[in-house]
Amino acid sequence: MSAAEIRDSPRSSEELTALLLRTRALVNEVVLPMEDAFGGDIEAAGGDQARRSLQAAAREAGVFAPHAPVEFGGLGLDMRSRSKIFQASGYSLFGPLAMNIQAPDEGNVHLLDRLASDAQREQYLAPLASGQVRSSFAMTEPHPGAGADPRALSTRAERVPGGWRINGSKTFITGATGAAFFIIMARTAGAPGDAGGATMFLSPADAVGITVGRHLPTIDNSMLGGHCEVKFENLFIPDEQVLGEVDAGMAGIQVRLGPARVTHAMRWLGAVLRAHDVAVASVAERRLFGQRLGDLGLAQQLIADNELDIAASQGLIEQACQDLDAGLDAGISTASAKVWVSEAVGRIADRAMQLCGGRGMSQDLPLARIWTEVRAFRIYDGPSETHRWSVAKRVLRANLNGSTPSERFLGPAQ
């Protein structure tokens, strides 16, 4: 059986249940205590030293790298099989880091597994999948460069003997500090605003010409390596470090972005499952106005609305995973999952805080930090407005080609 066949082989329900139970035990017994001790701040917890400690525990538990190729020590789960595992890891803000499924590394593993050459797999994918190193993906640029609109890409790669010379500035590059290598998106043809002409390049982080600048002071604290400014000045990239095809970067990046939006949704949904647990436990015990808070109708409405948002989120994640695993055009389902879940997790965390009153605002409970962390998801990996526009554009284009929305949901009419 080939590596790809091993990777995509379905697991039995018994295997997946056992893996889920081991994941939950690891998170509850090892990861949550560290998160709570340091208020969800991974740098305060020890940064890379904390990562290595948590990942050692995940390996011992047999839950490390559930997404990574089997040939590099991962469990090789497809999207549907990994969904609840990722949600269980996200129950702690440090859980994805422990299992080596944190952003941007998880998405980079997926991208390299699909597009990297044999030599690139050994040099970059193998150490990343095994947790020896971290990585970073450099696409977003200062205005007016690439961001929500990747076509605005302005970082330029020029042809030179034996390879390429890259110049440009990036911003909001997650995990840049301490990364062993970068995947760099640069323009090799055309001008900013053109739909094509982008190429992905691989480079060790210590290459001459790469400068990691300041950390942007963001509201979230759980992503190792910060969100950084990065500058490329006459960075030389040999031809063999082109990832995918020259001028085909915009198409190649879709291999990464669709699945990454869905795995983000899995992780953040896991975080608010904890918030919901905390809130329900609180209102089940607290007494107010002569009765349990949980017996009051308004409290019950908040609980019910959380349940509805969680169930709907899981359903949209499931549909997107099904489309991705089947190799279908998952543009609408992944964007829909990203928009809905990114907004639902905010509602869930907010209701949980409301149910817990003053304690919900305090550091006595994890709710305030969960709310702060998940708020960023409405922006990260593309703002909700951009994805709504994408969904509408795809639906209208399909209609012009003779496909109605009802056919997508119900199948073709007889």
Contact 411, 173 (CB under 8 A): no
pTM, 2 dp? 0.94
pLDDT at 7: 46
In a domain, 68, yes or no: yes
**Same domain assignment for residues 301 and 327:** yes
Q: Which of residues 217, 232, 247 is at a domain's end? A: 247
Cα angle: 90, vertex 92, 95; to 5 degrees: 65
Residue 379 has pLDDT above 50, yes or no: yes
Cβ neighbours of residue 212 under 8 Å, at least 6 residues apart? 176, 177, 205, 228, 229, 230
In a domain, 406, yes or no: no
pLDDT at 9: 52
- Exposed e or buried b for every residue in 362-374, given b needs 16+ CB within 10 A? eeebbbbbbbbbb
Question: 3-state class of 22 per DSSP?
Answer: helix
**Same domain assignment for residues 51 and 72:** yes
In a domain, 115, yes or no: no
**Same domain assignment for residues 348 and 363:** yes
The sign one gets for the Cα dihedral 147, 150, 151, 153 is: positive
**Same domain assignment for residues 90 and 222:** no
**Same domain assignment for residues 82 and 44:** yes
CATH of the domain at 64: 1.10.540.10
**Same domain assignment for residues 213 and 302:** no
In a domain, 122, yes or no: no
Residue 325 has pLDDT above 80, yes or no: yes
In a domain, 191, yes or no: yes
DSSP string, 293-341: GGGSHHHHHHHHHHHHHHHHHHHHHHHHHHHHHTT---HHHHHHHHHHH
pLDDT at 289: 84
Q: Which of residues 214, 247, 280 is at a domain's end? A: 247
**Same domain assignment for residues 53 and 186:** no
Residue 282: Cβ within 10 Å count: 20
Contact 226, 217 (CB under 8 A): no
Percentage of the chain surpassing pLDDT 70?
97
Question: 3-state class of 181 per DSSP?
Answer: strand
pLDDT in tens, 200-235: 999 999 999 999 999 999 999 999 999 999 999 999
**Same domain assignment for residues 74 and 178:** no
Domain range for residue 20? Answer: 3-102
DSSP string, 146-165: SSSSGGG---EEEEETTEEE
Contact 85, 106 (CB under 8 A): no
**Same domain assignment for residues 264 and 390:** yes
Q: Which of residues 184, 215, 247 is at a domain's end? A: 247
The mean pLDDT of the chain is 95
The β-bridge relationship of strands 287-288 and 291-292 is: antiparallel
Contact 150, 250 (CB under 8 A): yes
pLDDT in tens, 116-161: 999 999 999 999 999 999 999 999 999 999 999 999 999 999 999 9
**Same domain assignment for residues 389 and 263:** yes
Which one, of 180, 172, 286, lies nearest residue 230 by Cα?
A: 172
In a domain, 221, yes or no: yes
CATH of the domain at 335: 1.20.140.10
pLDDT in tens, 7-63: 445 578 999 999 999 999 999 999 999 999 999 999 999 999 999 999 999 999 999
Distance CA 74, CA 99 (A): 10
pLDDT at 10: 57
Residue 3 has pLDDT above 50, yes or no: no
Residue 1 has pLDDT above 70, yes or no: no
Percentage of the chain surpassing pLDDT 90?
92
**Same domain assignment for residues 329 and 366:** yes
In a domain, 289, yes or no: yes
What is the number of domains present in the chain? 3
pLDDT at 133: 98
Residue 6 has pLDDT above 70, yes or no: no
DSSP H or E segment with residue 128: helix 126-129
In a domain, 414, yes or no: no
**Same domain assignment for residues 260 and 387:** yes
Residue 5 has pLDDT above 50, yes or no: no
